[in-house]
Structure 1
Amino acid sequence: MRASYRLYPLIALGLLAGASIWLERLSRVDETRPAAVSSDTPDFIAENTRIVGFGQDGEQRYALVANRLTHLPASDRTMVDAPRLELDNQGRRLTIHATSGEVASGAERVDFRGDVVAWRAAAPGGAEMTFRSEHLTVWPDDHRAETQQALKLTQGATTAEALGMRADNLFGTLDLVGQARVQIPRRQGSKS
């Protein structure tokens, strides 16, 4: 009888070991499950969006409109389809649109790609301005823009072409880079 009394702890340990093995197999991750979602998977997608940026004075500085917006959380980038950026600068509107684009984290920079067209309303007594290229990077809050792609600018009858450009105050000051050509028409009535 004494021998059977000593077996109870061994039997209890055996039952605990068996229950542990059973629980481990029950909770084991099935290796046939699909892999975890990759870091390039979007965390949200929105259709027909409008993002508005305000200055410290509370005034609207820009609006970014897109047909589709896709946010990638791993890089905190936002991809946009058919983006249109509208900026108001000193009472004149500048509108930029393209086939696609990418908005950096915090919306501090927007890269426009594919058939980029920018249009700025005319200053009093001046002509409107049109910009065309395949790429344009814009910093909306800093009112800066640049491209390292071929471009064409038109303002009235004046045209300029170059292999790149840097602009401060969004086309207030322009630096044309690489093989720049500017055609300025003669004024009527000027003598040779």
Structure 2
Amino acid sequence: MSNFQSALKFRLAVILALSAFMALSSFWLTVVIKRTPSDAASLGPRSEPDYFVFDFNYVKMLPQGKPHYHLTGKKLSHYPLDDSFLIDMPVYTSLDPQNPPQTARADQAILKEDNTKVHMHGNVVGNRKATKTTDSLSLKTEYLLVYPDEDTMETDKPVTILRGNATIEGVGMYANNATGEFRLHHQATVTLAPQGKTIAPLP
């Protein structure tokens, strides 16, 4: 074999090796570029919040332009895994002018289902002011599910309710602020204060 043929074969081998290296490099670069925009997906669902809002303050308006309800909190955290919100020290206030004003506060609240439900947890206290036709109402429980758009609330936990001169205790409750409907589901007991004495609402 001549020196020329040997040199030619060597050059061809080098060219083929470089071509293969460049092809592999291009493939690797393409894979990296394709994966970069979907880092979150490649890492799996995120279980940690992706943003926070401090001193959260939200007002839902009615179609007529009047406020429907007010929701505030010390801190709001968004969880992308299930698109839910966690609120620290939430305060819910119903502002519908056609219904008695009522508030509910708790240690924490979780918003799900397109924010149509407010799950309030821990030291939940609710208050509804008296009107010309209804007594004031206060309640205390460890869990309260509020439906802001419907102005209703319910719980499946033990609840203590102060209404007029009565202290009512039971397990499970449903209350409709718009219609005045109120139900206790189980183990209901009623204690009446002396006539003429009204029990102070819960703080």
TM-score greater than 0.5 by the shorter chain: yes
Q: Do the aligned residues in 1 keep the contact of 2:60 with 2:67 (CA within 8 Å)?
A: yes
Q: Do the aligned residues in 1 keep the contact of 2:165 with 2:194 (CA within 8 Å)?
A: no
Structure 2 segments unaligned to the other structure (5+ residues): 33-41, 197-203
Question: Where does residue 154 of structure 2 map in the other structure?
Answer: 146
1:28 and 1:141 map into 2 onto residues whose CA distance is 48
Q: Do the aligned residues in 2 keep the contact of 1:77 with 1:104 (CA within 8 Å)?
A: yes
Provide, for residues 135-172 of structure 1, a one-character-per-residue CA deviation record: whole Å limited to 9, x for no partner. 10011001221101111111221221111101223681
Question: Where does residue 71 of structure 1 map in the other structure?
Answer: 78
1:149 match: secondary structure: strand
Say whether residues 1:174 and 2:182 are aligned partners: yes
Question: Where does residue 57 of structure 1 map in the other structure?
Answer: 64
2:18 and 2:116 map into 1 onto residues whose CA distance is 63
Correspondence for 2:164 among 156, 159, 163: 156
1:62 match: secondary structure: strand
Q: Give the structure-2-normalised TM-score.
A: 0.77
Q: Do the aligned residues in 2 keep the contact of 1:145 with 1:170 (CA within 8 Å)?
A: no
Once the 2 structures are TM-superposed, how far is the Cα of residue 55 of structure 1 from its aligned partner? 2.3
2:28 and 2:120 map into 1 onto residues whose CA distance is 53
What is the one-letter code of the residue matched to 2:18? Answer: L
Question: Where does residue 111 of structure 1 map in the other structure?
Answer: 119
Correspondence for 1:134 among 138, 142, 150: 142
1:143 and 1:114 map into 2 onto residues whose CA distance is 21
Structure 1 segments unaligned to the other structure (5+ residues): 30-34
What is the one-letter code of the residue matched to 2:21? Answer: G
**% identical aligned pairs:** 25
Moved more, 92-101 or 162-171: 162-171
Pairs within 5 Å for 1:29-48: 36=43, 38-48=45-55
Q: Give the structure-1-normalised TM-score.
A: 0.81
Provide, for residues 29-58 of structure 1, a one-character-per-residue CA deviation record: whole Å limited to 9, x for no partner. 8xxxxx947511211111111122122333
User: Which is richer in helix?
Assistant: 2
Once the 2 structures are TM-superposed, how far is the Cα of residue 12 of structure 1 from its aligned partner? 1.4
What is the one-letter code of the residue matched to 2:149? Answer: D
Moved more, 120-129 or 157-166: 120-129
Q: Do the aligned residues in 1 keep the contact of 2:99 with 2:177 (CA within 8 Å)?
A: no
Once the 2 structures are TM-superposed, how far is the Cα of residue 187 of structure 1 from its aligned partner? 5.2
Once the 2 structures are TM-superposed, how far is the Cα of residue 59 of structure 1 from its aligned partner? 1.9
1:16 match: secondary structure: helix
Correspondence for 1:12 among 11, 15, 24: 15
Q: Do the aligned residues in 1 keep the contact of 2:45 with 2:81 (CA within 8 Å)?
A: no
What is the one-letter code of the residue matched to 1:83? Answer: P
Once the 2 structures are TM-superposed, how far is the Cα of residue 21 of structure 1 from its aligned partner? 5.3
Question: Where does residue 32 of structure 1 map in the other structure?
Answer: none
Once the 2 structures are TM-superposed, how far is the Cα of residue 7 of structure 1 from its aligned partner? 5.5
